[in-house]
A and B are shown apart, each in its own frame.
Chain A
Amino acid sequence: MSYDSTRISEQLRVLEPAIADFIVRYNLNTLIGPAGGGQRQTVFLFPGGMGSRLMRAKTAYSVDGEIFDYDEAWINANTFLGDGRHLKMTRVGSTYRDKWNRIIVADGLINLFGVTPYVVFTLWCTLKRLDYFVFPWDWRRSVGEVSDFFVTRFLPFFQGLVQAGCNNADPLQRFSLIGHSAGGMVVNWTLRSGDAVLAGLDQAITVATPFYGYAGQLHRWFEGEDYLNGIGNAFRSDVIKAICSFPGCYAWMFLPQATFLANQAALTADPNYPLAAYPSVDFTIGVVADPYNPLTNAGLQRYPSFTSSGFDSVELASAQIVVNHLASSLGAKANQFWNIRGDTLADNTHNTTTWDWVPPTDPSPITDATFAAGDGVQPGWTSRHVDLDGLGRVITIQSPLAAHAILMDLPETIAAIAGILGIPFP
């Protein structure tokens, strides 16, 4: 088996204990009755970007058919002490290898200093006897790759194990997908798949998911990540190289100008969360600075050089295809799609940026220019697909507590999800 085949096989193997837990809960729910007394459904939760725990094999891949023991790679105290930079990947043809050829897989949710996301939501699922499964995913990888793994590898594997452990009950007879933040991008991609295994897909729900990008990612190409950069930015250069090696991050930037123009009327028309003009402009003359169409200016560029950072124009071109696909028309799938967005009522969300030419890359050429209403990370205009306007399928949670990281755990959000799934709340 190749590195990638071994990684995929290991990813499935590592998820087996979580599937075994699902089987126990499923059988228990069979005994005491499913949520709401209606037709049973399975709910898959896709954590947000960086919300899934990543595990690194203790030894390097070398031969076929190996299985590995794993150490936690994301996120714990060591991540801040230089280990964050070791998440770097290397593209080999059309696949990616992890540093030191030590396979990295996703396994469960992060737990940093005793804090795990989605505890309230998963507790509610348990109390409501909902058949839920948290699907951890490698957020460094592209949305398409993660979704493809979920649809073609994980779901059949999951279905087989559950049928074997639950008296042949089919957990995919009726199921729904919920994705928080970047996890919703995977949900969006999956919804558009025509694979037969998705025949039982009922509802697809995104929570605080960007459809048209956000301001945060542009900073990272130049600034790294404050918490991981170390004292005196000792690790910053390597942290930037690691970030530039993640294909997934290239799809987190503001939308291409062509997408903006195609959807401008709808983006401007949102009564409370309008995007009046293209959100990224040149620092000096204010013309459009499209992340997916980075021009040059007399020897100056928009991005750091490949040699200094590893910023990869091939990944940028691939990501443009991804973001165009995710923003494209949903057609009839819109009738299965729901977007939940947060508004902290503080107008404290970075909204637009100015972008200077580089070099120099330090200080950062990216400046946050304006704020808007949103959840503190995602402005309101990005966290709904414009195809859903007027369909009553965009739910806005307006609350001082509707902050990005905790939106999934907010009672108002859970109530909205319950309504969509047809489950009594609380």
Chain B
Amino acid sequence: MAKKSGKKPYEITSEQALAFIRRMQKAFPKAPRTKAGKARLQKYLAKFTDRQLRAVGRRVQGDLMLRAAKTIPPQNLRKRTKRKRQR
């Protein structure tokens, strides 16, 4: 069994994930097709740590089914009502 790192997963917001993707889109306006282009994209992504990339991956996967993908400010949520505990 792998040892627990004790580190909490690095979490980011939908806005931060979108900003990450936008920066990548700015650096690469189109998907690279050549070997050199693909290597440049790999080099670009290698600038980020695994934790950072995983945080983006987690957030994007979580957001894809959600439209629009954005953090909801607490004041926009309705007041919580007490509800019964369910099975």
> Which residues of A pack against B, CB within 8 Å?
48-51, 77-78, 80-83, 110, 112-115, 117, 181, 215-217, 219-220, 223, 225-227, 230-231, 234, 271-272, 345-348, 350, 368, 370-373, 376-377, 392, 394-396, 398, 403-406
Contact = CB atoms under 8 A, between A and B. Distances in A.
A347 B61 contact: no
A277 to B, nearest CB: 15
B6 interface: no
Given A48-B65, A370-B78, A113 B26 contact: no
Given A223-B67, A225-B64, A83 B31 contact: yes
B61 A227 contact: no
A72 B59 CA distance: 20
Nearest to A231: B25
A50 B65 contact: yes
B86 interface: yes
A272 B84 contact: yes
Given A80-B25, A371-B77, A377-B65, 18 more contacts: A80-B24, A81-B24, A81-B25, A113-B54, A113-B57, A115-B57, A216-B66, A216-B67, A217-B67, A225-B67, A230-B25, A231-B29, A346-B77, A350-B66, A350-B67, A394-B87, A395-B87, A396-B86
Given A82-B30, A272-B84, A395-B87, A226 B18 contact: yes
A311 to B, nearest CB: 16
- A-B pairs, top 7 by smallest CB distance, nearest first, are A113-B57, A115-B57, A405-B62, A113-B53, A78-B31, A219-B67, A396-B86
B67 A114 contact: no
A405 B83 contact: no
Contacts of B63: 226-227
Interface in B45-64: 45, 50, 53-54, 56-58, 60-64
A215 B86 contact: no
Contact of A405 (B22, B31, B65): B65
A406 B62 contact: yes
A115 B54 contact: yes
Residue in A80, A115, A272, A368 whose Cβ sees the most chain B Cβ within 10 Å: A115
A371 B64 contact: no
Contacts of B21: 80, 227
A192 B32 CA distance: 45
B28 to A, nearest CB: 5
Contacts of B87: 392, 394-396
A376 B66 contact: yes
A345 B60 CA distance: 22
B36 interface: no
A205 B32 CA distance: 41
Contacts of B84: 271-272
A100 to B, nearest CB: 14
B69 A227 contact: yes
Contacts of A404: 62, 65-66
19 contacts: A77-B41, A77-B45, A78-B31, A80-B24, A81-B28, A115-B61, A219-B67, A225-B67, A226-B63, A227-B18, A227-B60, A272-B84, A347-B80, A368-B68, A371-B77, A377-B66, A394-B86, A395-B86, A406-B62
B35 interface: no
A50 B58 CA distance: 13
Contacts of B22: 231
Given A83-B31, A405-B65, A348 B72 contact: yes
Contact of B67 (A215, A272, A394, A403): A215
Contacts of A373: 83
Nearest to B41: A77
Nearest to B14: A226
